[in-house]
Structure 1
Amino acid sequence: MNIHAIVLAAGKGTRMNSSLYKVMHPVCGKPMIEHVTLLLESLSLHNLVVVIGHGAEAVKEQLGNRVQYAYQHEQLGTGHAVWMANHLLADQEGVTIVINGDTPLVKADTLRKLLEHHQSKQAAATVLTSIVDEPTGYGRIIRDENGDVRRIVEEKDATLGQKKVREISTGIFCFDNQKLFQTLPQVTNENAQGEYYLPDVLALLQEQGNLIGAYATDDPTEGTGVNDRVQLAHLELLLRKRINERHMRNGVTMVDPATTYIDSDVEIGRDTVIYPGTVLRGNSQIGEGCQIGPHVQVIDTKVDDFTRIPPFTAVGDVKKGNKLRAVGGAAGREEILVTADARR
């Protein structure tokens, strides 16, 4: 079976109040759109389409020819955005994942389980859902008396009763690809926003006698998106916590994980101790048995096994034109890494 994916990345991101295109804002060392693209590439897709609009050139420079592009010149809603990929995907057989470009917390395993659930139920569409304590702002999952998904109601269109529903849509879907593109032209913009909502496809498919499925993730943070800088900081906090926990489970000691900042591509050997205030950025590789910090910054640097980096030290390309080199430690003994003082 062919698997396709459409990444929605054409939004202006007005509330970010930034000249930088929303999905290009970095989270733990990489733009959000890069996180999402790498996630999807791990699924061995047949087609990967990124829908772009404002800031298109920045996204194209980041992703290059790894993906196909569709353009949404007018912001008319998520349904309209998916329709922009019509010329690339409409005739394709298989299943299509639709995901937002500002959701870097989604896990590959979750998407695989979503696909498996979709196929096992032989559904026309399947939505990734989550149960949350505070559903305000999210589309609510409305089920029928049999427990099947009836529709998704957006916050601004929901009744008081529907707003009490705690099962929400993450905005991530699987569709039978041909049914998706056959149904999209039937979606109207008769709603509070005057937009063409992608979730309206679910109700239309059900009216045609198709089964609509739902797969609930047990991690409600996976569908977390970004509309402003406050949400961006929250998302970075969540991803940083996940990264730190992964390293600790792999044998790294962190004296204070809350003050340890590690980019997503950093590698760290076991039995290394990371002291508070440490920042490890870029493609840095830290060997085994090292002691880093406190208050150390390492950028794009390979640190040999059993190296000690003393407090208040900066290693790497700290600022333009100031490239610093790490001093390696021989196996079984410790060396002091002498670098520029970063306290300035």
Structure 2
Amino acid sequence: MSAPGAAATIATMRLADPTGYGRIVRGAEGDVERVVETKVPGDATAEELLIDEVNTGLIVFDGAALRDALPQVGAHTAQGERYLPDVLPVLRSTGARVAAHEVADPDLTLGVNDRRQLAEVRAIAQQRIFDRLAAAGVTVVAPGATSIDVGVELGEDTLVEPGVVLRGATRSGARCHLGPQSTLIDTTLGDDVTVRHTYATDAEIHDRVSVGPFAYLRPGTVLREGAKVGTYVEIKNSDIGPGSKVPHLSYIGDADVGEQTNLGAGTITANYDGRNKHRTTIGARVHGGVDTSFVAPVTVGDDAWTAAGSVVTGDVPPGALAVARAKQRNIEGYDARQRSDD
């Protein structure tokens, strides 16, 4: 905003109704001579009250010039107060130049002195973000229930449902369906992605991926094209291959999963041994039974299977079935013996 060679540059704006604002008085050359206060009758003349250019309260000074001029500011208003804009005539009296920068958008000059004003300014900023996205072909269903950072970019025909929060450098491709009730932070989405009731941060979601509801994608998560992460699933620092599915109630951490693999409900990668993290490698077209735990480091080959309830601690060859659980034993008459002890 500072003008070259000026000891001070004051931001001004023009208002149809300038009531309550200090008026900008310019000289013959267009530089600012002074600011006339209008809060109290007698500070401004009738002619000065007709001026529609007003002081926004923003002034950029040359520091040394301001320091020298401040002691010379007197109490010239009807209220007997000293006003900072009164330093401008002092600067001019030394031969210094006072320039003006006219602000076209009054909202840019709004002050924030309390939480209410902060909310008002935030609402204006949010609406401008929504307007920009709408012009780009994005639908925000409920702007009042949505929060989107200025750095977020969304592709054409993307739908943003109520309760969505988009933060940081989040990006989406075209035709995405975001929400309801999802938070995405620094997350990248491809085209045709669906994300519902999901919390994701520093994640990478490729084309035609479905996430949620109630999924948690932690940093380092990569979901390849056509993958699915379902209900109550947490993924951390893992690469889920194209077309692979983690449908229900699972934790996949520090893992690499090949394409077209299906991990059953309750799948866990036990990636921490108490001291260090280890990776699990699961191949392509693997069929993981429900309630399978993979104790890392472990590798499961392509086309392998795991039986339900298995705790896999060793590598599984391609095409093999891993059964890692105690053999079932039925104790006949157990209930009767329990009752006889009562």
Q: Could you state the TM-score of these two structures normalised by the residue count of structure 2?
A: 0.51
Distance 1:266 1:260 in 2: 19
- On the 8 A contact 1:304/1:328 being kept in 2, the answer is no
Amino acid in structure 1 at the alignment position of 2:199: V
Structure 1 residue runs of 5 or longer lacking an equivalent are 1-113
Distance 1:329 1:248 in 2: 28
Match 1:206 to one of 84, 92, 108: 92
Distance 1:337 1:254 in 2: 25
Residue by residue over 1:274-293, the C-alpha shift from the partner in whole angstroms, topping out at 9 and shown as x without a partner, is 33424324436233235234
Judged with a 3 Å threshold, the aligned counterparts in structure 2 of structure 1 residues 301 and 207 are, in CA distance, closer, same or farther, namely: closer
Residue by residue over 1:117-149, the C-alpha shift from the partner in whole angstroms, topping out at 9 and shown as x without a partner, is x11xx3322211111234344332122455432
1:330 aligned to 2:224?
A: yes
Local SS of the residue matching 1:324: strand
1:279 aligned to 2:199?
A: no
Local SS of the residue matching 2:84: coil
Q: Could you state the TM-score of these two structures normalised by the residue count of structure 1?
A: 0.51
Judged with a 3 Å threshold, the aligned counterparts in structure 2 of structure 1 residues 299 and 255 are, in CA distance, closer, same or farther, namely: closer
Distance 2:189 2:50 in 1: 55
- 2:182 is matched with 297
- 2:279 is matched with none
Amino acid in structure 2 at the alignment position of 1:180: L
Judged with a 3 Å threshold, the aligned counterparts in structure 2 of structure 1 residues 128 and 196 are, in CA distance, closer, same or farther, namely: same
- 1:254 is matched with 139
**Rg larger in 1 or in 2?**
2
Distance 1:337 1:291 in 2: 17
Percent of residue pairs bearing the same amino acid type: 27
Residue by residue over 1:135-185, the C-alpha shift from the partner in whole angstroms, topping out at 9 and shown as x without a partner, is 344332122455432211334244373444321222222333322221122
Match 1:315 to one of 199, 208, 224: 199
- 2:244 is matched with none
User: Which is richer in helix?
Assistant: 1
1:152 aligned to 2:35?
A: yes
1:143 aligned to 2:26?
A: yes
Amino acid in structure 2 at the alignment position of 1:135: P
Local SS of the residue matching 2:217: coil
Distance 2:38 2:232 in 1: 53
Structure 2 residue runs of 5 or longer lacking an equivalent are 202-213, 234-342
Q: How does 1:1-344 map to 2 (within 5 A)?
A: 114-115=1-2, 118-119=3-4, 122-144=5-27, 147-157=30-40, 158-159=43-44, 161=46, 162-191=48-77, 196-247=82-133, 251=136, 253-256=138-141, 258-259=143-144, 261-264=146-149, 266-271=151-156, 273-283=158-168, 285-289=170-174, 291-293=176-178, 295-300=180-185, 302-306=187-191, 307-310=193-196, 313-316=197-200, 324-325=216-217, 330-331=224-225, 333=226, 335=228, 338=231
Local SS of the residue matching 1:156: coil
Structure number with the bigger relative contact order (C-alpha 8 A, sep ≥ 6) is: 1
Local SS of the residue matching 1:130: strand
